[in-house]
Amino acid sequence: MLTIHGVTRSRASRVIWLCHELDLPFRQEPVIQAYRIADADAPDAPMNTRSPGFLAMSPAGAIPVIEDDALVLSESLAITLHLARKHGTDIGPQDYAEDALMGQWSFYAATAIEPDALTILMLHNRGTLQEADDAGLVAEAAERLVRPLKVVDDHLAEHGHLVGGRFTVADLNMAEVIRYAQGHGALLEPFVALRTWLKACQDRPAFHKMWQARLSEPE
Ligand SMILES: N[C@@H](CCC(=O)N[C@@H](CS)C(=O)NCC(=O)O)C(=O)O
C-alpha cells in the first residue's frame, strides 16, 4: 500500500487530497516539521524532519515523502504528478502534451507563485504582523504576485481549467499553492475567474475530506 510520510498540516495535504480524488488507499506516517517541536532532537521527540530514521529515507529532510512499492519520492508536486500519471483517469494526463502542460503549470505554481504566497501565509494570514518590516514584505510579495496570478486568471477565464478543460492534477497543484495567499482578500479580489475556479476546487468532496483531517490535527 502507498505510504505517505508527513502530517496533513504540511504540503502532504496536496498528496492526500489527490489520493481522495483517486480513491487511492494510503497509510500515513505523521512525520512532523522539526521547527514545530520544542526539541526535535530529544530522544522522546516524535518522528520529525530531523529524525535520523526519516533522514535516512529522505536526506532533504522535508515532508511529504511517499513510498510507492520500491519507489521513494519527495517533492510534493513530483509526487502528485507521479500518482496522477500512474493512477489517474481524467485527473491525470491523457497524452504527452497534457503531461507536459500539467508539468508546466505545476512548475509555474512552485516557482512563480509559491515563494511569495508563502510569505503572505506566514506574515499576513496568521495575523502575526508584528513589525512594520513584515507589512512591507507582505506588500512586496503581493505586488510580485499580481503578474503570475493574472496569467492564471486570464487562462482560467478562457478555458475554465488549466489543462484539458477539466479538473486535473494541475488544478490541484495550483489551487494548493494559491491557497497560501487566499487570506489576502485584496490581492485576489480582481481575479474573478481565479476566485470562481478556486472555490470550485475547494468545494470538491476530496478537498473537504483532506481539510477535515487537517483541522483535526493540532496546530
Ligand atoms: N518543495 C518541497 C518543500 C517541502 C517542505 O519544505 N516541506 C516542509 C513542510 S510543508 C518541511 O518539511 N519543512 C521541514 C522543516 O522545516 O523542518 C515540496 O514541495 O515538497
Q: Which atom of ligand 1 is nearest to the CA of 36?
A: 17
Q: What is the CATH number of the domain that holds 121?
A: 1.20.1050.10
Co-location of 82 and 100 in the same domain: no
Higher pLDDT, 129 or 105: 105
Examine the pLDDT at 164 and tell me if it is beyond 70.
yes
Atom of ligand 1 nearest to the CA of 11: 10
Q: How many domains does the chain have?
A: 2
Tell me, yes or no, whether 181 lies in a domain.
Answer: yes
Residues 111 and 51 in one domain: no
Q: Mean pLDDT across the stretch 39-63?
A: 96
Domain shared by 197 and 111, yes or no: yes
In a domain, 216, yes or no: no
Q: Do 174 and 80 belong together in one domain?
A: no
Alpha-carbon span 98 to 170, nearest angstrom: 10
Residue 62 domain flag = yes
Give the per-residue pLDDT at 136. Answer: 87
Question: Can you tell me which residue has the cell 506566514?
Answer: 122
Report the atom number in ligand 1 closest to the C-alpha of 48. Answer: 17
pLDDT, tens digit, 9 for 90 and up, residues 45-56:
999 999 999 999
Q: Is 160 a domain residue?
A: yes
Domain final position from 28, 58, 88? 88
**What is the pLDDT confidence band of residue 129, given thresholds at 50, 70 and 90?**
low
Give mean pLDDT, residues 32-59.
Answer: 96
Pair 122, 81 in one domain: no
Compute, in angstroms, the gap from residue 11 CA to the centroid of ligand 1.
7
136 inside domain: yes
Model confidence band, residue 89 (pLDDT cutoffs 50, 70, 90): confident
Residue 27, domain member (yes or no): yes
The CB of 202 under 6 Å from ligand 1? The reply is no
Domain holding 138, by residue range, is: 96-204
Q: Are residues 100 and 73 in the same domain?
A: no
Q: For the chain, give the secondary structure using H, E and C.
A: CEEEECCCCCCHHHHHHHHHHHCCCEEEECCECHHHCCCCCCCCCCCECCCHHHHHHCCCCCCCEEEECCEEEECHHHHHHHHHHHHCCCCCCCCHHHHHHHHHHHHHHHHHHHHHHHHHHHHHHCCCCCCHHHHHHHHHHHHHHHHHHHHHHHHHHHHCCCECCECCHHHHHHHHHHHHHCCCHHHHCCCHHHHHHHHHHHCCHHHHHHHHHHHCCCC
CATH of the domain at 67: 3.40.30.10
Residues 77 and 35 in one domain: yes
Question: In whole angstroms, what is the distance from residue 12 CA to residue 81 CA?
Answer: 13
CA-derived radius of gyration, the chain = 18
pLDDT of residue 130 exceeding 60, the answer is no
User: Is 212 a domain residue?
Assistant: no
- Closest-CA residue, ligand 1 atom 15, reads 33
Instruction: Categorize the per-residue pLDDT at 105 as very low, low, confident or very high, splitting at 50, 70 and 90.
Output: very high
Q: Is the CB of 11 under 6 A from ligand 1?
A: yes
Quick one: how far is CA 180 from the chain centroid?
Answer: 9
- Given 72, 88, 104, the domain boundary residue is 88
Among 24, 55, 88, the domain-final residue is: 88
Co-location of 82 and 114 in the same domain:
no
- Burial letters for 100-139: b for 16+ Cβ neighbours within 10 Å, e otherwise? ebbbebbebbbebbbebbebbbebbbeeeeeeeeeeebbe
Rounded CA separation 32/182 (Å): 24
Ligand 1 pocket, mutate which of 49, 51, 107, 172 (most atoms under 8 A from CB)? 49
Amino acid at 105: W
What is the distance in A from the centroid of ligand 1 to the CA of 6? 9
Ligand 1 atom with the smallest distance to the CA of 49 is: 17
Site to substitute for ligand 1 among 11, 79, 122, most atoms within 8 A of C-beta:
11
Show the cell assigned to 201. Answer: 476546487
User: Do 101 and 37 fall within a single domain?
Assistant: no
Query: Within this chain, do residues 189 and 105 fall inside the same structural domain, yes or no?
Result: yes
Q: State whether 38 and 121 are in the same domain.
A: no
Name the closest-CA residue to atom 2, ligand 1: 75
Q: Is residue 217 part of a domain?
A: no
Check pocket membership of 8 for ligand 1, CB cut-off 6 A: no
| Same domain for 63 and 101 | no
